[in-house]
Each structure stands twice: as C-alpha cells, then as structure tokens.
Structure 1
Amino acid sequence: MEILLTIALFIAFFLLLRQEKALGKYAQSTTLFTQAVDKYQKAVDGYEEAIAGYREVIAKYQQETELFKQDITEYELLLKEHGIDKSKAEPTRQLTPPPPPQFTLPDLKAMRRQPSKPKAVSKNSPMYKEFLHLLNGNEETANRLIIRQQQLNPDKLDNWILEKVIGDLKRDRRA
C-alpha cells in the first residue's frame, strides 16, 4: 500500500512540475506578446505623429497660399490704381502660388517588417562545441535555438547567447 502511495505522490509531483514549467512558458510568451504590443503601439504613435506633422505642413501651406492670393489681388489693385497694364508690368514673371509640398507617408498596414539576419556564432568556439555535444551533434537544432535567442535578444553578444541556450537546455533536461 505504501508503494502505491509513494508512486501516486511521485506522479502527482511530476505532474505538478510539468504544470509549473508550462505556466513558466506561458508567462514568458505573455511577456513577449506584451513587448510586441508595446512596440506596435509605439510604431502607431509615431505614425500618428507623422500624420499630425503632415497636417500642420498642409495647413501652413494653405495659409501661405491664401496670403499669396491676397498679395496678388493687392498687386493687381495697385497696378490698376497707377494705370499700369498688367501684361506690361512684368512680362517675364507669372504670379502663381508655389506648388504644394510633396510628402508621402508609408502605410503601416502595407509595410512588412524585414527580419534582420542573425549573426553567425563561431562554430569553432568551445561553448558551441559543448552545445552541439549536448544536442548529440544536431546542428540544425543548434542553429534554430541560437537564431531564436538572437531574435529574442538582438543586443546580446554571441557568448551570452551560447551561455543562454546551454543553460536553458541543461535546465530543461533537469526538469
């Protein structure tokens, strides 16, 4: 009876560890998702700022165009007051408002993020060889794990990436 109780406790403990590990991975993925949402919101905020700036430039252009039209009207009135024929006043210069500024803002929805190419980790380093040994020589898996860590931590150095993947692999094998 004690053996069955011990086995049942062992199974319960094992299931509890698996559940704790799953919760840890869920928390990590939630954190990554939250970071992605924050980055997206910053991009949207920047886009909205650019649109606001563009609208300010257009409004200023429209104000300047109105002032220019008023100046043309005043100029034509002065010509009339002094009896000067408009066609003889300045034959080489036409009075027209300047063309509107040409701005094109990118469409955020149409833009696709170009993934950055991860840096290659030196395959001659002892840490890489240790990592490869832990994976029984499976270079494909090693490269996939390294690339994923580089994507998650683009500002980290190669040694840090290797330490992280080796530590994660050893930790996961203990659990």
Structure 2
Amino acid sequence: MVERVALSTQFTMEILLTIALFITFFLLLRQEKALGKYAQSTTLFTRAVDQYQEAVEGYQEAIADYQEAIELFKQEIEEYELLLQQHGIDKSKLKAEATQQLTPPPPPQFNLHRQSQSKTPQTQLSPILPKDMSLPDLKTAKRQPSKPKAVSKNGPLYKEFLHLLNGNEETANRLITRQQQLNPDRLDNWILEKVIGDLKRDRRA
C-alpha cells in the first residue's frame, strides 16, 4: 500500500513538472516574440524621430531664407525711397498717379433711341475700282502648282538610277518628277535615293 502511494505521488510530481516545463516554455516563447516586436517598434520610433528632426531642420532653413528675403526686400524699399528723395519725387503723388492709371475708364454710353443726323451714302462704303476691273472669283481660283526643278544629271545617284533603267532618261525623269510632286520639300539626293530604293524593291518583289 505504501508503495502504491509512493508511486502515485511520484507520477503526480512528474505530471506537475511536465506542466510547469510546458508553461515555462510557452512563457519564454511569448517573451521572445514580445522582445522582437519591441525591437521593431524601437527601430520605427528611432526612424520617425530622425525624420522629425530632418523636417524641423528644413523648416528652420525655410524660415531663415524667408527672413533673408524680407531683409532684402526692406533694403530695396529703402533704396527706392532714397532714389525718390534724390530726384525730388513725392511718393504720395506717385501713388495717386499709379492708382489713376490702374482705374479703368467708364464704359461709353449709347443712346439707342436717337438717330444719327448724318447718314453716309451707301456708295461711299464700296471700294473704288476702275470700271473695266473686276474682282477675281475666289471659288473658281486655283493655285498653280510650282514646277519642280530639274535634278542634276552629273551626280552619281542619277547615274546609278539611269543605269538601273538601262539608260531610259524619259522614264527616269518621269519617276523623279513624280516624287518631287509628292515631296516638294525634299532635296535632290533624297528624291534620287527614294526612286532608287523603290525601283530595287519592286524588282525584288
């Protein structure tokens, strides 16, 4: 009987010890997580303090620049007033003249019920033209296209193009003139390179 009681007591102690160890491990784990969060929050707080200090320094620099600008503005005002005194100009009169210039004039008044005493004849408003001269009809007038200038035939590009056409100058001139009409702002070399490239591409096709 005594042995059973001893064994039961030992088993109970082992269970209690296991529970105590489990609780201790759990508390240590919670403490480790808490320490990690504390370290992270401390880092964030330190970073926030640094940013706040940078903002304060920037604000102080802005205040210093503003004060410097005010001092420069005061110096300019003093120099302006001194210049007015040297030339004998009254500042109050100058201000009054500036106010008058900025005031817009009153709008003109029109009397819609009063007819004009003098009437201008309708014939005086028409332009004076010779009898045999008539104005051009803008609807039928057409812009005459400018005649393209001739490309130099002594250049190597023209000779290459002529060689590709087996010496057919009529076809060469016709193709060059067509490109000049489509691209009137291009130079001669560009026109020749264009017709040569088109001809080679068509032959490969």
User: What TM-score do the two structures reach when normalised by structure 1?
Assistant: 0.45
User: What TM-score do the two structures reach when normalised by structure 2?
Assistant: 0.39
Q: Which of structures 1 and 2 has the larger relative contact order (alpha carbons within 8 angstroms, sep 6+)? A: 1
